[in-house]
């Protein structure tokens, strides 16, 4: 099993930056895929970014060039650097792991972009 705990959410002004972190309960080297999803108010959950332990990285078109996903193997975290935030980025952000054929989710962290 894998437990995931997100942190780093909060309120930020348009144009600002936030860095989200997802701490895993086991070595992330063995986790095939780590991803960040988000669920805006009144909308469905959507993929933001993902990367595999083989180095394949993907981004939603809406965040390309603004968000960067990374893995910190030493600390067993998946991090999401978010720059140039706008109101459409307001959502609950969830960490997701694909490990041994099963999917695991964190509890989510709220990101609100507002002046």
Kindly state the average pLDDT of the residues 62-67: 98
What local confidence, expressed as pLDDT, does residue 80 receive? 98
Q: Which region among 35-39, 43-47, 51-55, 86-90 has the lowest average model confidence (pLDDT)?
A: 51-55
Q: What is the pLDDT of residue 78?
A: 97
Share of the chain above pLDDT 70, in %: 100
Q: Which of 20, 31, 108, 25 is nearest to 69 (CA)?
A: 20
* Residue 3 confidence (pLDDT): 97
pLDDT single digits (tens) 72-113: 999 999 999 999 999 999 999 999 999 999 999 999 999 999
Q: CB count, 10 Å around CB of 78?
A: 28
Q: Are 84 and 18 in contact (CB under 8 A)?
A: no
Structure tokens at 8: 């780093």
**What is the CA angle 50-79-54, rounded to 5?**
45
């Amino acid at each position: 099993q894998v437990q995931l705990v997100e942190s780093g959410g909060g309120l930020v002004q348009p144009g600002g930056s936030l860095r989200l972190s997802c701490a895993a309960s086991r070595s992330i080297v063995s986790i095939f895929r780590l991803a960040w999803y988000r669920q805006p108010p009144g909308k469905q959950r959507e993929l933001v970014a993902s990367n595999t332990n083989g180095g394949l990285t993907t981004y939603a078109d809406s965040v390309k060039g603004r968000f960067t996903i990374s893995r910190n193997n030493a600390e067993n975290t998946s991090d999401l650097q978010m720059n140039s935030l706008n109101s459409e980025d307001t959502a609950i952000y969830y960490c997701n792991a694909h490990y041994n054929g099963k999917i695991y989710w964190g509890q989510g962290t709220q990101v609100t972009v507002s002046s």
